[in-house]
């Protein structure tokens, strides 16, 4: 029974009220990562953990509280720990001299960046073994045999035919990893293809509470599809007659390096209260633990299709920290550039020790035309298997058929959940615009309201790029210009009508590749004098293996199950580069990770299949801030001629310049570290040039001939002069190094040709008549 007794009101002084939020923030506990850089001296794993706990003892009131607060103690290569701390405790630890950085774990900081593709980049698996040329890259690399690729993602579906291990050969002796058991997963799910699997969720559960096992498996098993897709893109076996739902993209599915061994590190998880189609979350402390284990397990390549929502400084970024420790062990690390395009300055993973990968198209389309009542035919794309009866249907714009309580604003035409009126939409084809909400969710809303089909219209930001989805009803997606034409038609007649044709797979489309509008773009906001992204690879409408516990749309009401699915994102392009790096590792096992990155960058292609420069989907010229050095060409990368090598200590000098002086206790920063544009990188960026700048580069001869002469040629950025000295390099043997300088000068007319904060782009190329070693340049004025 509720009490009727009156209480005397309590009043607090205003000064105390103002302090309450501050006091609350001091006592509120969150996960922080305390990072010390490299391990110093030889310590056992137990001694390392005891050392980490001693730091917690110093700020906690009891030993029991200190022990219970520790989530991870990073011990293999990374020196640090993740623990539950108050802001005050974290601040005290950050003041210690030996601490490199302390940063708070943020739940929304990281997310996943969601066969034909391999033929398109020149790794055609279609020919028979005995008909292949002996110098074919796959044969040279023995299909990636004995190379181990680790993937940080959201797990794997081990039963997929892409992960069969027949003919795989023995597991490399260097492998030290495990096959971790858990929900619906045990050691029998690993084999000679999937040689290891682990999962990490201490950070996730600290924030969200215990995992809801109806949302995800508490194990390395994939309930989403993304991790299965990326891992099969890297190293899936050849699977004949594979296709997406409805038979689209039918052919032989294969990873880029079909005989590599795969190690799965599940670090991304379903978000409670949110549909899987809206993405996952990945916590920095979980990823650091996974990378630390991967280094200890003995992987050779790491493929990480995860990015931040906004650029993050190197020592506050779990992926960046982990990747540099991996580089010290000569592990190649490839990461997604992100899916925040076409806005400039949005890219993730800008560290120079990471291969940062943008996304572009392949030469395949899934054409589903739209016929309007006025006779106009408009091309669209989809991979929905559903077909309309061949007749004309009433056509409406979503804003015309919304429910009575839906505001008539900009979102009314976007088919958001619950927005459409079944009375108005039933039996009609509904035109929905992109914007808020997911693409597949819009189709689900049309189906809920009784629509017979739907048209997904691009916004101007998406332009002409068409992402093919397996919608839950007949559908097609159209370019923004065509969306405007459809809307004009709808408004021009009292009874607009339309029909959506069944989709078909079309190969050899031109032009291809073009840049995906979603791919995050430069310039690099963390270090503008490092050009990022590095390269682009196939990332639009890519077919690969899928989880048997997820539908092709990931929608909760979609009960369809598929073996293979089509997905888009820099998540898809990253494993293409990861696979190419694995092949190069197999051919050149002694090369450094920097040499492999250089080979990929300097051999990339700049032209599409019409022989013209790469554009975006609308035909506008693309720049190195979208594609880096160009489109991935693995076969060229196997024999690059020259490489721009860089050592771990050069990356430490790079960090010294940025004020990070304690990363490695054995390394002492000089008083005047070199500027970032003097890092021996295979591209060149000079931001805010005032007058003249001279930088140095060193190349190593890796060409097969030994003796060679390389001539330089320059296409200078507009408004600048570029001088290379010496302009000719003479090499006498393989492994010989030669240095040169690049002097960039702003011409008097530069201010009239490019605006403030705008960049001009150019190219530096070395060639001996056989090899073409090309580097992009980006320059802006002060």
Beta-sheet strands, E only, within 588-671: 642-643
* Cα separation values, 7 from 10, 14, 16, 668, Å: 9, 21, 22, 66
With contact defined as beta carbons under 8 Å apart, do 315 and 35 qualify? Answer: yes
Residues 6+ apart with CB under 8 A from 590: none
With contact defined as beta carbons under 8 Å apart, do 342 and 616 qualify? Answer: yes
Strands 720-725 and 737-746: antiparallel
CA-CA distance, 570 to 412, in Å (whole number)?
30
With contact defined as beta carbons under 8 Å apart, do 363 and 543 qualify? Answer: no
With contact defined as beta carbons under 8 Å apart, do 520 and 339 qualify? Answer: yes
Beta-sheet strands, E only, within 245-354: 251-253, 261-266, 268-270, 280-282, 301-304, 306-308, 332-336
Three-state SS string over 367-378 comes to ECCEEECCCCEE
What are the tokens at 746? 């702003």
* Cα separation values, 397 from 463, 483, 497, Å: 19, 10, 11
What are the tokens at 120? 């398109």
Residues 6+ apart with CB under 8 A from 543: 115, 116, 117, 242, 243, 244, 248, 249, 253, 564, 565, 566
CA-CA distance, 480 to 458, in Å (whole number)?
4
Q: What are the respective helix, strand and coil percentages of the chain, to the nearest 5?
A: 25, 25, 50
Let me know if 589 is exposed, middle or buried by CB neighbors in 10 A (0-12, 13-18, 19+).
Answer: exposed
Tokens 């699915």 -> residue:
565
End-to-end CA separation in angstroms for the chain: 73
Beta-sheet strands, E only, within 101-183: 101-104, 110-112, 148-153
CA-CA distance, 84 to 30, in Å (whole number)?
5
Tokens 């992960």 -> residue:
163
Question: What residues does 686 pair with on adjacent strands?
Answer: 779
- Residues serving a catalytic function are 153, 226, 571
Question: What residues does 567 pair with on adjacent strands?
Answer: 542
CA-CA distance, 298 to 566, in Å (whole number)?
31
Shortest CA distance to 599 belongs to which of 773, 369, 372?
773
CA-CA distance, 598 to 640, in Å (whole number)?
9
Let me know if 545 is exposed, middle or buried by CB neighbors in 10 A (0-12, 13-18, 19+).
Answer: buried
Let me know if 54 is exposed, middle or buried by CB neighbors in 10 A (0-12, 13-18, 19+).
Answer: exposed
Region of residue 657 (phi > 0: left; psi between -120 and 50: alpha; otherwise: beta): alpha
CA-CA distance, 585 to 509, in Å (whole number)?
32
What are the tokens at 9? 């009101």
Q: What is the Cα 200 distance to its own chain's centre?
A: 20
CA-CA distance, 771 to 690, in Å (whole number)?
34
CA-CA distance, 580 to 138, in Å (whole number)?
10
């Amino acid at each position: 029974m509720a009490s009727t007794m009156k209480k005397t009101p309590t009043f607090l002084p205003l000064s105390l009220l103002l302090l309450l939020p501050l006091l609350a923030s001091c006592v509120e506990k969150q996960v922080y990562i305390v990072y010390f850089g490299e391990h110093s001296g030889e310590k056992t794993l137990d001694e390392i953990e005891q050392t980490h706990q001693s730091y917690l003892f110093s700020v906690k009131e009891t030993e029991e509280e200190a022990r219970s607060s520790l989530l991870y103690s990073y011990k293999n290569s990374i020196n640090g720990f993740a623990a539950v701390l108050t802001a005050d405790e974290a601040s005290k630890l950050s003041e210690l001299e030996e601490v490199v950085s302390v940063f708070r774990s943020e739940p929304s900081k990281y997310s996943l960046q969601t066969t034909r593709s391999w033929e398109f980049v020149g790794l055609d698996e279609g020919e028979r073994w005995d008909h292949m040329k002996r110098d074919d890259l796959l044969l040279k690399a023995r299909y990636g045999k004995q190379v181990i690729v680790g993937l940080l993602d959201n797990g794997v579906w081990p039963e997929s035919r892409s992960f069969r291990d027949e003919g795989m050969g023995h597991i490399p002796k260097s492998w030290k990893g495990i096959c971790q058991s858990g929900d619906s997963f045990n050691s029998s799910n690993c084999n000679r293809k999937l040689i290891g699997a682990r999962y990490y969720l201490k950070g996730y559960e600290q924030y969200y509470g215990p995992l809801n096992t109806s949302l995800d498996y508490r194990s390395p098993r994939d309930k989403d599809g993304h991790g299965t897709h990326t891992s099969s893109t890297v190293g899936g076996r050849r699977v004949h007659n594979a296709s997406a739902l409805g038979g689209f993209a039918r052919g032989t599915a294969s990873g880029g390096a079909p005989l590599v061994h795969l190690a799965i590190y599940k670090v991304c998880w379903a978000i409670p209260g949110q549909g899987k189609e809206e993405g996952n979350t990945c916590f920095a402390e979980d990823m650091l633990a996974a990378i630390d284990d991967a280094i200890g397990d003995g992987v050779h390549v790491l493929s990480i299709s995860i990015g931040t929502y906004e650029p993050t400084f190197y020592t506050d970024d779990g992926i960046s920290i982990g990747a540099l420790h991996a580089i010290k062990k000569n592990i190649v690390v490839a990461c997604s550039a992100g899916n925040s395009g076409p806005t400039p300055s949005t890219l993730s993973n800008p560290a120079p020790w990471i291969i940062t990968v943008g996304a572009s198209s392949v030469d395949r389309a899934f054409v589903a035309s739209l016929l309007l009542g006025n006779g106009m035919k408009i091309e669209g794309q989809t991979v929905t298997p559903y077909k309309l009866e061949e007749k004309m249907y009433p056509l409406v714009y979503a804003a015309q058929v919304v429910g009575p309580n839906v505001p008539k604003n900009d979102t009314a035409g976007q088919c958001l959940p619950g927005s459409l009126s079944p009375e108005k939409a039933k039996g009609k084809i509904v035109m929905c615009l992109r914007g808020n909400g997911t693409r597949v969710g819009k189709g689900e809303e049309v189906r809920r309201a009784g629509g017979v089909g739907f048209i997904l219209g691009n916004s101007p930001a998406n332009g002409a790029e068409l992402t093919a989805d397996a919608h839950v009803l007949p559908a097609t997606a159209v370019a923004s210009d065509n969306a405007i034409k459809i809307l004009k038609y709808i408004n021009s007649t009292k009874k607009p009508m339309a029909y959506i044709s069944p989709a078909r797979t079309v190969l050899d489309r031109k032009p291809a590749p073009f840049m995906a509008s979603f791919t995050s773009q430069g310039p690099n906001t963390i270090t503008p004098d490092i050009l990022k992204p590095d390269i682009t690879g196939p990332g639009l409408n890519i077919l690969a293996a899928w989880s048997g516990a997820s539908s092709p749309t990931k929608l909760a009401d979609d009960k369809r199950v598929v073996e293979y699915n089509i997905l888009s994102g820099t998540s898809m392009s990253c494993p293409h580069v990861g696979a190419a790096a694995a092949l190069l590792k197999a051919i050149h096992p002694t090369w450094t990770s920097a040499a492999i990155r250089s080979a990929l960058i300097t051999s990339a292609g700049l032209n599409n299949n019409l022989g013209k420069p790469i554009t975006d989907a609308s035909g506008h010229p693309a720049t190195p801030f979208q594609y880096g050095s160009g489109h991935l060409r693995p076969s060229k990368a196997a024999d690059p001629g020259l490489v721009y090598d860089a050592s771990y200590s050069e990356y430490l000098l790079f960090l010294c310049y940025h004020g990070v002086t304690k990363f490695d206790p054995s390394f002492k920063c000089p008083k005047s570290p070199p500027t970032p544009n003097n890092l021996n990188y295979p591209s060149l960026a000079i931001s805010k040039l005032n007058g003249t700048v001279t930088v140095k580069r060193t190349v190593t001869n890796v060409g097969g001939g030994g003796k060679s002469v390389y001539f330089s040629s320059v296409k200078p950025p507009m408004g600048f002069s570029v001088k290379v000295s010496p302009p000719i390099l003479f090499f006498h043997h393989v492994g010989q190094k030669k240095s040169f300088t690049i002097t960039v000068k702003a011409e008097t007319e530069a201010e009239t040709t490019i605006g403030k904060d705008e960049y001009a782009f150019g190219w530096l190329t070395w060639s001996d008549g056989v090899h073409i070693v090309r580097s992009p340049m980006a320059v802006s004025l002060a």
